[in-house]
Each structure stands twice: as C-alpha cells, then as structure tokens.
Amino acid sequence: MTTISGQAVTAEGLRPVELTIEGDRIVALAASDRARPNLILPGFIDLHCHGGGGADVMEGGDAARTAARLHARNGTTSFLATTMTAPAAEIEAALAAVAEAMRAPGEGEAAILGVHLEGPFISPDRLGAQPPFAITADLDLMARFCALAPIRVVTVAAEADPDGRLAAFLRARGIRAQLGHSSCDYETAAARFATDIDGTTHLFNAMTGLHHRAPGIVGAALAHLDHAELIPDLIHVHPGAIRAALRAIPSLYAITDASAAAGMPDGEYRLGQQVVRKCDNGVRLADGTLAGSCLTMAEAFRNLVSLGLTIEDAARRTATIQADYLGLTDRGRIAEGLRADLVVLTADLALEAVYVGGNAIAL
C-alpha cells in the first residue's frame, strides 16, 4: 500500500488529498489539511508516439518496449505505438512486435494500448516526413493489419478513401478514423467530419491550411470537429494557432508524435525508412522538413500551462480526453477504483514521480 500527499486533479477540481494505492488501483482519496503543495495528475496518455529512447516502432523487436520505458520516465502511463507509411510487410512486422510487447508488458514500461496506424492510406502529395509508400484504401490489407495487433486509430487521407469504404470498415470495428496527410478541400473535409471521420491527425500539419476563401482541412476542423490531436512542442504549431484551436475545438488534445530522438542527445535517428536529425528541440529531415518530434507528454503539459491553461484543463488535454476518445473508463482521471496511473509534479511542474498501474517508475 502506498500513500501520496498533494493537490490532486479531481472531478471537483484541485483538492488537497491523501491518495492511497493498493495493487493497481486507487483505493482511497481523502481530503487532507496537511497535503503537500505538489500536484497529482492522471497519468499522461499519448495517442500518437513513434518511438523514443533511440528506438523506432517500425524497427520491430523490442523497439516499442524501449519507447515505453523512455516515455514512462517522462510521465506517459499509456500510449499508442504509432507506425509509418511503408511496404505492407514492414508494417506487418512492426504490428506483430507491438502485439508481442502488449502480451507481456515489462517492468518500468508505459502500457501500450494498441496501435495508431499512420498510413499507408494517405496522400502522396502530403507525405510530410512519411516515406513514399502511400496507397489507396485496401480493405483486405486493413483486415490483415487488424489481425496482427489491436489497432485503435487510423490516419486516412480523403483522397485515399474517396468512397468512405475504409472509414466504414474502421467504424464497424470501433476504430477511430482521423483525417490527415491529405490535400482535400474544406467541403470534402466538412462532409467527412459529418459522416465517417472522427478527428484530425496532428492538426495544422500535413494538411490544407486555413485561408479566408479556401478554409481547407484546418478550417473544417475548427468549424466542425469536437476532437483533434495537436503537437504542442511550440515548433510544429505557433502558440497563436494553438490558442485559436483551443477556442474552437472542445476536445483538442495533446500528442507527442515523438520519434526515436525523444530523450536522446542531438544526432541522427531513424523514423521508419527515413534518417532524421535531432537538433535542439526539433527533429527534421535533411531538407528541413519537420519529422516527428522529441517531445514528451510532461513537456507538452508544461507548454499548455505556459499558454495560459489551468492545471485542470492541461491535465484534461493530456489524459482525460484521450481516455474518453478511446472509450477507456479505468484511467485518465483520479478517482477511487480507477487504475493508479499517476504523475506527481512539483509546484514548479518538474516531474517528481510516476506510477503505472500502481508501480513506481524509476526516473
């Protein structure tokens, strides 16, 4: 049994509490007038993470485990291992490795919730840092992917699925479809948001931008969506654009889009078949194109607070919305009976402790 004292983010707001963990659950949440000034947050949940600690999910093997350990040490308690556009055989090998890591989670690892399949069903004209293996929707191939690992989110370009057959396939299986890596116009995006697409992948990036006479995917998202993911590293998206999206999209949530470079020194790393270079706080291809990030969810939380969000709202956008989006009722909040997935920060937002399923992570 473990007891943590601090200011906890609860359904009633920030409360001074003594929180008790037994096994993998929160068993008591008692008000306390002696609580420490540190913050107790629901463990961060990242729905778009390609790697970390020098490992890229597309490498297969133990890469997903390496990423799970790195991100657990930085406050992520659950995440979606995210693939890249690649030949089918390479994606299948990566999916099989993720499934194996999920079957036998190791000590010190964030929980892998499943897979975010980012491609190959995207536009060849909006690859961003994706390798040039984009294809149109293939339901047989998608079924093969689903048989290998639990896929929870799929990025789809409207051009790759013009008749919506892939989106319908995903919806029937409870998989979230997100519009991304697409050059479609406002009208197409708005129509898909109204029918078969749930959100956008890294809002503002690798999609048609907002112009007052051609609002694009960004305009459609701001006008119509309830959910969208966004990379708040303050490099991918200008703070002013983040503030605009926060006002427009009720359930805008943070992701890292982290690459193997997360938690590593400056240098060269892999992102699928691409070689990327980390320099300072950014990750880029040789031509300067942004290529994922080196962001952690702890940094994402601090960046949201720096933009003026309250502690409670920043916690909602780094944990609660993600849990709700995937239909997870056992995490993403702090309450008795829920999983003890917790992050403890000092009053100045430095990471102090992380608990995954009640187990303390060595930082």
- Position 134, amino acid: A
Q: Residue 24 catalytic?
A: no
Count CB-CB contacts under 10 A for residue 139.
12
Residue range 73-85, pLDDT digits in tens: 999 999 999 999 9
Phi-psi map region of 194: left, alpha, beta (phi>0 left; psi -120 to 50 alpha): alpha
Q: Is the peptide bond before 215 cis (omega within 30 degrees of 0)?
A: no
- Position 114, amino acid: G
Tokens of 1: 């049994």
Q: Judge whether residue 350 has pLDDT over 90.
A: yes
Q: Which of 181, 173, 210, 163 is nearest to 48 (CA)?
A: 181
Better-predicted residue by pLDDT, 35 or 14:
14
- Going along the chain from its start, the domains and CATH numbers come out as 43-330 (3.20.20.140)
Q: Is residue 280 very low, low, confident or very high in pLDDT (cuts 50, 70, 90)?
A: confident
Q: Judge whether residue 228 has pLDDT over 90.
A: yes
Beta pairing class for 282-284 and 342-345: unpaired
Question: Whole-angstrom Cα distance, residue 233 to residue 293?
Answer: 8
Provide φ and ψ at 71, rounded to 5°: -75, -30
The DSSP code for 106 is P
Question: Whole-angstrom Cα distance, residue 163 to residue 356?
Answer: 42
pLDDT of residue 264: 96
Residue range 98-155, pLDDT digits in tens: 999 999 999 999 999 999 999 999 999 999 999 999 999 999 999 999 999 999 999 9
Among 56, 257, 287, 348, the active-site one is 257
**End-to-end CA distance of the chain, in Å?**
20
Provide φ and ψ at 301, rounded to 5°: -60, -50
